Amino acid sequence: MVEHLWAGWRIPYTGATGGPALERPPGQTLFEGILASDLPDDETFIVRRGERCFAILNAFPYCSGHLMVLPNRGVLGLTDLDADEYRELWDMVRDTVVAVETAYTPDGVNVGANLGKGAGAGVPDHLHVHVLPRWIGDTNFTTAIADVRVLPETLAASWLRICEAWPVA
C-alpha cells in the first residue's frame, strides 16, 4: 500500500502554480524572486538581509533551524562572487552558525554548499550555503525505513526563534 504525505504548502514555492513570492521576471532565480517580493520577511522566512547577502530558512529543511545564506544576486559558484560579496557571505554564515547554536543548542552544526547539479544542488543557478543544527542520534528509523523526516516545529516558529537568536552587531 502506498502512503501519502500531503504537503500542499510546497507547490507555490516550487513555482508550479506561480505563488506570489515566485512571480518574477524571466532570467531571475527563485531566490532573487523571493528576495525581491513585496512579501514580509515572516512570510518568505528571510531571517537577515545584508547589503549583498541574505539568510533564509530552507522551505524543505532536513531539520528545524535549517537555513541557507546566499548572495543577493544569482551566481553559480564562489568564484562568481566579487570580494565584497564573498566577505559578506562568509561573515553571514558565521553569524548564522551563532544564531543556530544560540537558538537550538545542538551537538554540532553542518555548514556546506553543493556547487552545481552534479554535487546535489537542488537549486543550482543560485549559490547557497546550508547551515543546520545537528544532534547526536538525530536520525531514526523513520528516515531510514520510511524515508520521512519528522520536524518538531513549524517554519514560522523556526523563523522567530532564529531571528530572536541573531547576534547583535
d(CA 131, CA 47): 13
Active site residue 128: yes
Catalytic one of 66, 126, 128, 130: 128
**HSE-CB for 128 with a 13 A CA cutoff:** 26
Residue with cell 566577505: 87
Distances 121 to 54, 88, 105, 130, 155 between C-alpha atoms, Å = 18, 21, 27, 11, 21
Active centre residues (catalytic): 128
